[in-house]
Chain A
């Protein structure tokens, strides 16, 4: 119990210290700290696996703590600038301890055959067998995030950390509340400025599938948490909401890198979420370059390794890994060009072109081979069959409310909060083609489980859109939708 508490606290403190060092001073430093700490840990692990370094997760864990300390020394010469206030730390520590204690006592957990695959990867990584070729089929399907998150349990002869998945769920909820609060507090009074965020958090927390995923040993909710942290902080940055920009950029960078190594679709989700951010005028050249480099390096490192490793052991390199690696390298190149002062590629129509290319790409795939699409269609329509998918009416209601906001309202940098969910189904179908697999429907179907990845972003979109948005028929005169001045 103590060991698990120390491990989870280590990730949280590492991330919190980094974010506090770059100016984040409120309570969000703890949930965002867990997200940032985990993302840094995964990134170091990916680097270990992709290079001749030893693969043992303890190396990445030690590296995470060391990197956080080094970062704090660099950014915050004074100790008090690096360490969050002891009172908030005590509350966060007590919360983590309580979750560890409860989850280790009541053993409430959900698992699935996929769970074994993640534990297997964790065991292989710990035993140093990843490079023997035994992990090959998991490279582009299981990735590293979930195995690494549970790998420390192997240090004391257990298979998984009881507390970390529920803690990620709590982090997801609190991040949603915090982002919505930051987004609406200027428009609402003091009291309502908290009512709306708390209602948003409750709407998510009471969702059947959210509770399921908060106890489910898999990576969907982890990906959802990375995504809502990424998108929420990106939007707050553009909104000039008063949160220190370096802290927001640090979360965006960490969350996008973490997303890439957590789920196969993580790279696409992060890319789609970031593309509308980086082309915005409100982003400085330095921050634009940093976010592009974080995403590009994560994608090219991990998927490049996957492509090379599979080419080494099989007769061919899977197209998905290869495409990811090439695109990742391209994003790195663009990031370097932006850093050097060249901004031509980042034209405003790029997000629209990306979205259109997804739809056109899917159309081409369906024309080429309609079977996967036709067989997957029932799974998509299953959104409307509450019993079969176990979502109840929640998914339909979230989509309906989001579409209502999209249809009736517009608000500043709406696209940043819209992209992840409005492109999700088509992205999932393209992914089905890329993996040569189809969706079958039912509560354990991949697509049905994957929907949780975008639902927290939808909740943020609904809450902020309904407060900050103005009806489309009002015209563009309202100051609400006027973009923040360029900082480039």
Chain B
């Protein structure tokens, strides 16, 4: 036995077999027994069995859900009538533009730089739906709806655009008139850098009337 043991270690592949065997054992035990809250063979079917990545997004990730569905909803509500106005001229704005493009929700880009109020006025002057800003890629979203008459923040889970938008946050004031609703999807970055996806929606389009207060 002792001789066989010595013979084994003299073989040029002995160290490799022993080391790789140890790695195989260690990784094998970990992958199946340890639960890191991530992927393991044991919970693979539960965590990864989704019919579609976007279905998974809708189910699990409110951030992705908001970003994706806002754009899809926009495209469905008003195909060929969405104008996107980049409000910062920064990279993150172009990210929003491209996202809208990629989901087929935009047919025109107006290059301008305006603040929140200017954006609303511009939108109203053009008589179109407006999407602006950048949708973030981190953190949890809030969505707010502002009454166009007095800029009052409706707060709470607000808009049942397609049953997807929830949340609340403070908001800037929107100019007249009230038939426009300003939908703001605000995404908080972990470093407290706020990104906005602002959408002006004609109230009739989303089925809201006058002073209706959303739940």
Say whether A and B bind each other.
Answer: yes
- What residues of chain B lie closer than 8 Å to A106, measured between beta carbons? 45, 49
Across the interface, B15 reaches (CB within 8 A) one of A200, A212, A440, A466, namely: A466
A211 at the interface (CB under 8 A from B): yes
A195 at the interface (CB under 8 A from B): yes
User: What is the size category of the interface that chain A forms with chain B?
Assistant: 35 or more
Residues on B facing A (Cβ under 8 Å): 11-13, 15-17, 19-24, 26-28, 30-31, 34, 36-41, 44-45, 47-54, 56-57, 61, 63-64, 67-68, 91-92, 94-95, 97-99, 101-103, 109, 137-138, 190
A-B contact pairs, 13 of them (CB 8 A): A111-B57, A113-B137, A116-B99, A124-B101, A129-B102, A137-B91, A137-B98, A184-B16, A196-B17, A199-B21, A202-B28, A206-B31, A467-B12
Listed from nearest, the 8 A-B pairs whose CB atoms lie closest are: A134-B98, A466-B16, A123-B102, A199-B20, A137-B91, A392-B30, A203-B23, A206-B27
Whether the Cβ atoms of B34 and A392 lie closer than 8 Å is yes
Whether the Cβ atoms of B27 and A390 lie closer than 8 Å is no
- What residues of chain B lie closer than 8 Å to A188, measured between beta carbons? 12-13
State in angstroms the CA–CA spacing of A132 and B101 once bound together: 10
Asked if A401 meets B19 with Cβ closer than 8 Å, knowing A107-B49, A115-B53, A392-B36, the reply is yes
- What residues of chain A lie closer than 8 Å to B38, measured between beta carbons? 208, 212, 390, 443
- What residues of chain A lie closer than 8 Å to B53, measured between beta carbons? 109, 111, 115, 159-160, 217
State in angstroms the CA–CA spacing of A40 and B20 once bound together: 34
Whether the Cβ atoms of A134 and B97 lie closer than 8 Å is yes
State in angstroms the CA–CA spacing of A467 and B14 once bound together: 8
- Beyond A108-B49, A110-B47, A386-B34, 8 additional pairs, beta carbon < 8 A: A107-B48, A116-B99, A135-B94, A137-B95, A188-B12, A390-B39, A397-B26, A467-B16
Tell which of B31, B40, B103 has the most Cβ of chain A within 10 Å: B31
A136 at the interface (CB under 8 A from B): yes
- What residues of chain A lie closer than 8 Å to B190, measured between beta carbons? 440
Asked if A398 meets B23 with Cβ closer than 8 Å, knowing A108-B49, A192-B17, A206-B31, the reply is yes
A314 at the interface (CB under 8 A from B): yes
State in angstroms the CA–CA spacing of A407 and B59 once bound together: 49
A393 at the interface (CB under 8 A from B): yes
Whether the Cβ atoms of B50 and A107 lie closer than 8 Å is yes
Whether the Cβ atoms of A127 and B49 lie closer than 8 Å is no
CB closest chain-A residue, reference B100: A134
State in angstroms the CA–CA spacing of A273 and B24 once bound together: 27
A341 at the interface (CB under 8 A from B): no
Whether the Cβ atoms of A467 and B13 lie closer than 8 Å is yes
- What residues of chain B lie closer than 8 Å to A113, measured between beta carbons? 61, 63-64, 137-138
- What residues of chain B lie closer than 8 Å to A160, measured between beta carbons? 53
- What residues of chain A lie closer than 8 Å to B27, measured between beta carbons? 203, 206-208, 392, 394, 397
State in angstroms the CA–CA spacing of A195 and B21 once bound together: 10
A463 at the interface (CB under 8 A from B): yes
CB closest chain-B residue, reference A193: B13
A335 CB to closest chain B CB, in angstroms?
A: 33
A387 at the interface (CB under 8 A from B): yes
CB closest chain-B residue, reference A398: B23
Whether the Cβ atoms of B102 and A211 lie closer than 8 Å is no
CB closest chain-A residue, reference B99: A120
CB closest chain-A residue, reference B56: A111
State in angstroms the CA–CA spacing of A111 and B57 once bound together: 8
State in angstroms the CA–CA spacing of A119 and B103 once bound together: 10
State in angstroms the CA–CA spacing of A398 and B23 once bound together: 8
Query: What sequence of 0s and 1s flags, for each residue 155-168 of chain A, a beta carbon within 8 Å of any chain B beta carbon?
Result: 00001100000000
Asked if A390 meets B20 with Cβ closer than 8 Å, knowing A109-B48, A109-B53, the reply is no
CB closest chain-B residue, reference A130: B98
Query: What sequence of 0s and 1s flags, for each residue 137-177 of chain A, a beta carbon within 8 Å of any chain B beta carbon?
Result: 11000000000000000000001100000000000000000
State in angstroms the CA–CA spacing of A110 and B43 once bound together: 13
State in angstroms the CA–CA spacing of A485 and B190 once bound together: 56
State in angstroms the CA–CA spacing of A119 and B99 once bound together: 10
Whether the Cβ atoms of A129 and B101 lie closer than 8 Å is yes
A389 CB to closest chain B CB, in angstroms?
A: 8
Whether the Cβ atoms of B31 and A211 lie closer than 8 Å is yes
Asked if A200 meets B92 with Cβ closer than 8 Å, knowing A120-B98, A208-B40, the reply is no
A153 CB to closest chain B CB, in angstroms?
A: 11
Whether the Cβ atoms of B13 and A116 lie closer than 8 Å is no
A362 CB to closest chain B CB, in angstroms?
A: 23
Across the interface, A206 reaches (CB within 8 A) one of B12, B24, B36, namely: B24
A329 at the interface (CB under 8 A from B): no
State in angstroms the CA–CA spacing of A124 and B104 once bound together: 10
Whether the Cβ atoms of B48 and A386 lie closer than 8 Å is no
- What residues of chain B lie closer than 8 Å to A281, measured between beta carbons? none
State in angstroms the CA–CA spacing of A209 and B38 once bound together: 9
State in angstroms the CA–CA spacing of A203 and B137 once bound together: 35
- What residues of chain B lie closer than 8 Å to A215, measured between beta carbons? 39, 44, 48
Whether the Cβ atoms of A187 and B13 lie closer than 8 Å is yes
